[in-house]
Structure 1
Amino acid sequence: MHIYTAPVVVPIAGDPVRDGAVGVDGDRIAYVGPAADAPESEDATAFAGVLTPGLVNAHTHLCYTGFADMHGNEKEFFEWIQEFARRNPATADDEWKAAAQDGVDQSLAAGVTAVADVVTPAAAFEPLLASDLAGVAYWEACFIDDEAWEERRKAWREIVTETRAVNGSDLAVGVSPHTLYSLGTGVAKSLAELARTLDIRLHPHLAETTHEDMFVRRGSGPFAFMNRRIGLDLELAAGGAGHSPAQQMAKVGWLGADSHVAHGVHLDAEDRALLREQGTAVALCARSNARLEAGEAPVAAHRAEGNPVAVGTDSRASAPDLDVAAEWPVLRKLALAQGDDGDGLNEWLVRAATEGGAKALGRSDIGAIKVGARADLAVFDVDTEANPYAALVSEAAGNCKATVVKGRLIEH
């Protein structure tokens, strides 16, 4: 057994432990508690900071790590998203693989040991599934209308089934129906049915922009124009659904305890109640939303109403890095500006990026330091004398000094 000690251990599964220790046996946690009570071992590593579970990035696109220049192009969401149609076809498989590998490496360097990763090109599966990351790799369906689906369904499904068949990693394979404005209603229902048939998880984008809301409710706005221009024939374009994107997602089967959604920026009280009823978590991506001028998620309302919440970065195309800890101070600022009283907010945020992410991905063996869990840890160089949750939220960004992933130590 290898013993890791730190001035403060934040297990999430219990109260913070000062002068704490975590015992790792192979790729599993075998002890957590006071260092004085830890099993004797000749293999020990003493850290100087705060030791936490490995963080969970509950929404990202690691294959777009090579598109980091898009973060600085100052384009608003509608202009920004159209860049992918131009760049994706021109990107070779080796470039996709290298970008995904870079994303894996950047994640581990930030203390992220599990991801909900949306995979756009099939080539990006290879480096992901070869990594030690946990979580789910979601095969994306995007810009497919009902007519095209009849031709593409078999080939699209084969990617899922064949990848699952050869997958020996700790990343499960799931389905990511992109959005309601990029898929036909029949396609949407078919993808939900496929996920339930195969017993795999779903991860769509929901209510990221007002453009999306306009298209779903009324069939109008920029996305209606874009779809007409590219020849995408969606049922919603004929007058819309007459209700919110969240309600439409429930109708096509994309919500449930086996699904979590990304962004959730434009959700009213009725929408949030629907997500709670369905047991569907929201992965908040505050920095991406700000960069793309998409709006501000109702962080305070999610917390006050008890919605399950996780934390994501989105891709390097819309975020400055893949550092989940860097989302904490931004989310805290939003919550306070929206009326949150701040009591317990720091702990809530840290939990959202650990056990919240684990629950969003349907995992019980990550996101907490407990006996039997995967040996995923992160060490942050923050004030060890202060409240550990407050120190992490205010100081952890850019300060991960070591990561243990599946029992393997990586020092930064």
Structure 2
Amino acid sequence: MSFSAPLVLPISGPPVRDGRIVVREGRIEEVGTGRGEVHYEGILVAGLVNAHTHLQYTAMAEIGSRVYASFEDWARAFDLAYFGGQDGSWNSAHREGVWDWAAGAMDGAWQCLRTGTTAAADIVTDPEALVDTPLGGLRYLEAIGDSDASWRDGGRGRFLDLLAKADGISPHAPYSLDTGVLADLARLAAERGMRTHIHLSESVHEREFTVHGSGPLEQYVTKLGLDFAILREHGSGLPPTAYIDSTGLLGPGCHIAHGVDLTAEDRALLRERRTAVALCPRSNHVLGLPGPDVAALLREGNPIAVGTDSLSSSPSLDLLADVAALRELAVRQGYHEPDLDQRLIEAATLGGARAMGLEHEIGSLTPGHRADFAVFDLDPFSENPYRSLAERGAGRCAATVVGGSPLTEMT
């Protein structure tokens, strides 16, 4: 089978005019020129890679449909919805029948596919959401709400029982797990050869929490009844990035989500550890937070990727809408280099693949890779096709192909 379009963006190489992709047994055999058996109009690009999402929360779109005054305000609204209107804490027993997490995960996967995303770093909190979908990528099992004591008293065993069904490990955040639990999860990942993914520096309040054990996050966590060493000891003295590094989590096998409150020192530490940052600007906006310093990340050479987060904190799962938001942020922050659009599209494809260690499988149109790509209804003869995708690609996906199968064949 072969596919063609007036313009093909392989990501791993320069644009190809009158491009053709030859596919055999779901893999790319050749990228060249000519007319394919299936011809599309528009711009054909490697499948997008969503580097941070929670597909199980797709049915919680009402929570993500408004803008909140703060992260803590959003978290309270989320918790009430998650627990079915009941008071509860992160380590409470799951209540049957409140949400159909499997259906949410499947619905979210299809929403991603219809907008050109072919792989995702999906964080799974509830075991019912560990379902097979047509999306590629990795499913990270999330640990949240355990103190060192509760981890020893059954939390670790329950986590290990489910881990065989997942592809990676996701310690939720610096404020939602005890220090010993974070370190143990780092050891587990190393022992099992699994990748990790953590929310980090999503708000300035994380810094107050990890350094001093105080602030709005301390109040929020205390109300949930969680007893962490960092609270008893009045902080670790370390900012969030250094604190997480001290547990052994940072490294090339880890990528973080958000990175809104990263200092120059934080960014340098992430580069030293070769840890990528998945940027989710529309989710940051919903939570009443400023966006990340995109300009600094680009100038300093931090590896970046793009995520949507979930519909509980974002208007849609259309990854190119977040690319457009990142572009606006970068320009507003003073980044006017001519490589801006290409680097953002690379972040939304190969950047996400690299964040998950899958760059030899997805993220670019390279012989031997899985035949994942999307076509966007945009002018293929525009002067800068990367800019067209970055600025106007959201909502313009005309076709998605996964493993050589068009979306219509998978439905």
Give the aligned residue type for 2:121: A
Aligned to 1:145: 147
Does residue 1:336 correspond to 2:331, yes or no?
yes
Stretch of structure 1 that moved more, 88-97 or 5-14: 88-97
Report the Cα distance in structure 2 between the residues aligned to 1:343 and 1:275, rounded to whole angstroms: 25
Local SS of the residue matching 1:404: strand
Give the aligned residue type for 2:118: T
Does residue 1:381 correspond to 2:380, yes or no?
no
Aligned partners of 1:93 and 1:123 also within 8 Å: no
Aligned to 1:46: 39
TM-score if structure 1 supplies the norm length? 0.93
Identity of aligned residues (%): 44
Aligned to 2:368: 372
Aligned partners of 1:247 and 1:271 also within 8 Å: yes
Aligned partners of 2:63 and 2:78 also within 8 Å: no
Give the aligned residue type for 1:245: P
Report the Cα distance in structure 2 between the residues aligned to 1:372 and 1:243, rounded to whole angstroms: 44
Aligned to 2:273: 278
Deviations 1:68-119 (A, max 9, x none): 0001243332011123333334463871111111101101001101100100
Q: 1:402 aligns with which of 394, 399, 403?
A: 399
Deviations 1:190-229 (A, max 9, x none): 1111111111000000100112111111111111112222
Deviations 1:367-399 (A, max 9, x none): 000110001010000111112111111211000
Aligned partners of 1:336 and 1:342 also within 8 Å: no
Give the aligned residue type for 1:105: W
Aligned to 1:316: 311
Stretch of structure 1 that moved more, 234-243 or 370-379: 234-243
Number of aligned residue pairs: 393
Does residue 1:123 correspond to 2:117, yes or no?
no
> Where do 4+ consecutive residues of structure 1 move more than 3 Å?
none
* Counterparts in 2 of 1:74 and 1:344: CA distance versus 1, 3 Å: closer
Stretch of structure 1 that moved more, 269-278 or 293-302: 293-302
Q: 1:203 aligns with which of 193, 197, 204?
A: 197
Report the Cα distance in structure 1 between the residues aligned to 2:259 and 2:83, rounded to whole angstroms: 29
Aligned to 1:267: 262
Aligned partners of 2:280 and 2:308 also within 8 Å: yes
Aligned to 1:77: 71
Local SS of the residue matching 1:108: helix
Aligned to 1:156: 159
Q: How does 1:6-405 map to 2 (within 5 A)?
A: 6-35=5-34, 44-75=37-68, 76-90=70-84, 92=97, 95-126=100-131, 130-151=132-153, 152-161=155-164, 163=165, 173-237=167-231, 238-363=233-358, 364-386=360-382, 387-405=384-402
Deviations 1:167-210 (A, max 9, x none): xxxxxx11000001010001110111111111100000010011
CA deviation after TM superposition for structure 1 residue 268, in Å = 0.6
Report the Cα distance in structure 2 between the residues aligned to 1:351 and 1:376, rounded to whole angstroms: 15
Report the Cα distance in structure 1 between the residues aligned to 2:82 and 2:65, rounded to whole angstroms: 18
Local SS of the residue matching 1:402: strand
Give the aligned residue type for 2:145: F
Report the Cα distance in structure 2 between the residues aligned to 1:360 and 1:92, rounded to whole angstroms: 34
Local SS of the residue matching 2:196: coil
Give the aligned residue type for 2:141: W
Aligned partners of 2:66 and 2:286 also within 8 Å: no
Unpaired segments ≥5 residues, structure 1: 39-43, 165-172
Report the Cα distance in structure 2 between the residues aligned to 1:326 and 1:234, rounded to whole angstroms: 37
Report the Cα distance in structure 1 between the residues aligned to 2:344 and 2:197, rounded to whole angstroms: 21
Aligned partners of 1:136 and 1:361 also within 8 Å: yes
Report the Cα distance in structure 2 between the residues aligned to 1:188 and 1:234, rounded to whole angstroms: 11
CA deviation after TM superposition for structure 1 residue 329, in Å = 1.5
TM-score if structure 2 supplies the norm length? 0.93
Aligned partners of 1:300 and 1:335 also within 8 Å: yes
Unpaired segments ≥5 residues, structure 2: 85-95
Give the aligned residue type for 2:290: G
Give the aligned residue type for 2:302: N
More helix by share: 1
Local SS of the residue matching 1:335: helix
Aligned partners of 1:282 and 1:309 also within 8 Å: yes
Report the Cα distance in structure 1 between the residues aligned to 2:33 and 2:216, rounded to whole angstroms: 57
Deviations 1:37-66 (A, max 9, x none): x7xxxxx11100100011000000000101
Aligned partners of 1:132 and 1:406 also within 8 Å: no
Aligned to 1:169: none
